[in-house]
Amino acid sequence: MKTYSLEELTNNYIGKKGTKKRDEFDNELRLDLLGYEIKKARKARKLTQEQLGELVGVKKAQISKIESSTSDARFSTILKVFKVLGAKVKFDVELNDHKLAY
């Protein structure tokens, strides 16, 4: 029985890196991981979604959306959530052959 790496499976079923479908897949995956980390940090600080929402200035439903899929959330809201949770945020932006770190 042949085994396949995750990269091979993703290339075969989603598309190779650089294709539109693969880029969309990779971006959605990163956003899901971001929501997961927010949820993990919230729970570690023993906050409910409602409590975190009050601290950030949004409703519980918005926190729920962020934790399940940040694609509908405003970037400014996500940054406020991280600030309230006391999380350090670092960004890497890659433009063609240049990499910027913030």
Q: What is the pLDDT of residue 51?
A: 97
In the chain, the domains with their CATH numbers are 6-101 (1.10.260.40)
pLDDT band at 97 (very low <50, low <70, confident <90, very high): low
Q: What band does 47 get if pLDDT is binned at 50, 70 and 90?
A: very high
**DSSP label at 17?**
T
Q: Give the global pTM.
A: 0.64
What is the dihedral sign for C-alpha 49, 55, 61, 62? negative
**What contacts 38, CB < 8 A, 6 or more positions away?**
66, 67, 70, 78, 81, 82, 85
The DSSP 8-state label assigned to residue 19 in this structure reads S
List, for residues 59-75, the tens digit of each pLDDT value.
999 999 889 875 667 77
